[in-house]
Amino acid sequence: MRIHKVAVLAGDGIGKEVMPEGIRAVEAAARRFGIGIEWASFDWPSCDYYQAHGKMMPDDWKEQLAGFDALFFGAVGWPETVPDHISLWGSLLKFRRQFDQYINLRPVRLLPGVPCPLANKQPGDIDMVIVRENTEGEYSSVGGRMFEGTEREFVLQEAVFTRTGVDRALKFAFELAQKRPKKHLTSATKSNGISISMPYWDERVEAIGADYPEVRHDKYHIDILAARFVLSPERFDVVVASNLFGDILSDLGPACAGTIGIAPSANLNPERGFPSLFEPVHGSAPDIYGKNIANPIAMIWCGAMMLDFLGHREAHDAIVAAVERCLVDGPRTPDLGGTADTTAVGQAIAAMI
C-alpha cells in the first residue's frame, strides 16, 4: 500500500477547530478503502507563530513542505494581532505562488437539506465549478508606495496577466467543462472598464476555446455576472475567472447556495511538481472562534477533494455522499440553522462514511 504523506497546517481561528474533523473524515474514508495516510502537523503558518518568531513560517518552509503529497490547510489570519496582508502574504499566498498552484478549484452546489437564500431554487439548480486563476492577475504584488506622508504620496499596484498564466488556467477550465454534462463555460471579464488586461483575457478565451468546439462558452462582465449568480445561478456550469474575480465569485456562489461554511477549494499544481493545497474557502472567522460552532463541512469536503487528487475517487465520493446525507438528516451547525457543534457534525459524517 502506498502511503500518502500529508502536512497538516491548521493555522488560526476556526482553522484549528475544523481541522480535526477534516482529518477524522479522511481517516474514516482511508480505513474503509484501505488508503494509507501519514499525517505531520505543523504549528505554522499561524499568527501565534508570528508573535513568537516575527514571521509566519520558518525560513526553510519550502524544503520542509516540498516532499509532502498534499497540504491540508485550515485558515490563516488574526487581524487583531497581525495585519492580514502580512499573515496571508507570509503563508497561503506564498504557497500558491512558490508551489505553482495555479488553479484554484471551487465547486459550488446547492445540496438537499440546505436552506437556500434565493427564491424558488431547488437542489441541483446550483451546480457549478469556479476555476480561479491562482498565481498572478490582480494578486501580483507589483507596485509600491512613494512620497509617503507627503502631499505627493501615491500608491501603484499593477495586475499582471501572462500568456502562460492565462492560457493554462483557461485550458484547465475548458478541459473540465468538456468532461461535464452541460459542457458550458462562462468567463468572467470586465473588458468595458479594465481596458487592457480584460480584452486580453477575452482574446485568450477565444483562442483557447477554439480547441474545444464542443464546449459552449460565453463571457459576462463581472458586475452583471454577480447579479446573475443571485438571479439565475442555474445557467452556470464552469466559471473561469481571474484571481480577484474568482475570489469574489467563490464567496458569492456558496452564499447563494446556503453557507460559505460548506465550500471547499483545491489549490492545484496539476503537473504535480509541487504539493497541492486543500483549504476551505472561508477564513479563520474570529467572530465565532472558541465556541466550537464552526461548520466543519468545508474542511471535510476539502479532504474529499484531496483524496480525489491523490487518486482515490471512490473515497472522495464516499465522503461527499456522507456530507450530503448529514445535511439531510444529520446534526447541523448554527450557520445552517442548527444547534450542533463542530465535533458532533464531524463525528456524524465520519460515522456515515
Picking from 279, 265, 323, 277, the residue whose alpha carbon sits closest to that of residue 114 is 323
- Alpha carbon 60 to its chain's center: 25
Please enumerate in sequence order all residues whose Cβ is within 8 A of that of 194, keeping only pairs 6 or more positions apart, or say none.
Answer: none
**Element holding 104 (H helix, E strand):** strand 103-109
Contact assessment for residue 88 and residue 76, using Cβ atoms and an 8 Å cutoff: yes
By the rule CB under 6 A, 82 interacts with ligand IPM: no
Q: What is the CA radius of gyration of the chain?
A: 20
Query: Pick from 247, 279, 324, 335: which binds Mn ion (CB under 5 A)?
Result: 247
Q: Is the previous residue joined to 45 through a cis bond, with omega within 30 degrees of 0? A: yes
Q: How many residues bind ligand IPM (CB under 6 A)?
A: 5
State in angstroms the smallest separation of the CB of 123 from ligand NAD: 20
Query: Pick from 6, 298, 318, 348: which binds ligand NAD (CB under 6 A)?
Result: 298
Contact assessment for residue 217 and residue 204, using Cβ atoms and an 8 Å cutoff: no
State in angstroms the smallest separation of the CB of 274 from ligand NAD: 18
User: Helix (H) and strand (E) counts for the chain?
Assistant: 12, 12
Query: Pick from 9, 26, 288, 352: which binds ligand NAD (CB under 6 A)?
Result: 288
Give whichever of 279 and 324 is closer to ligand IPM, judged by the CB atom. 279
Q: Which three cell numbers stand for residue 173?
A: 477550465
Query: Pick from 23, 88, 131, 176: which binds ligand IPM (CB under 6 A)?
Result: 88
Binding mask 229-258 for ligand IPM (x = CB under 6 A): ------------------x-----------
State in angstroms the smallest separation of the CB of 169 from ligand NAD: 19
The entry of ligand IPM, Mn ion, ligand NAD, none that residue 160 binds, CB within 5 to 8 Å by partner kind: none
Give whichever of 83 and 311 is closer to ligand NAD, judged by the CB atom. 83
Contact assessment for residue 137 and residue 159, using Cβ atoms and an 8 Å cutoff: yes
Give whichever of 100 and 247 is closer to Mn ion, judged by the CB atom. 247
Q: How far apart are CA 295 and CA 234, in angstroms?
A: 25
Give whichever of 237 and 324 is closer to ligand NAD, judged by the CB atom. 324
Query: Pick from 130, 166, 281, 306: which binds ligand IPM (CB under 6 A)?
Result: 281
Strands 137-146, 154-160: pairing kind: antiparallel
By the rule CB under 5 A, 17 interacts with Mn ion: no
Amino acid in position 307: L
Contacts to Mn ion by CB under 5 A:
247
Contacts to ligand IPM by CB under 6 A:
88, 93, 247, 281, 283
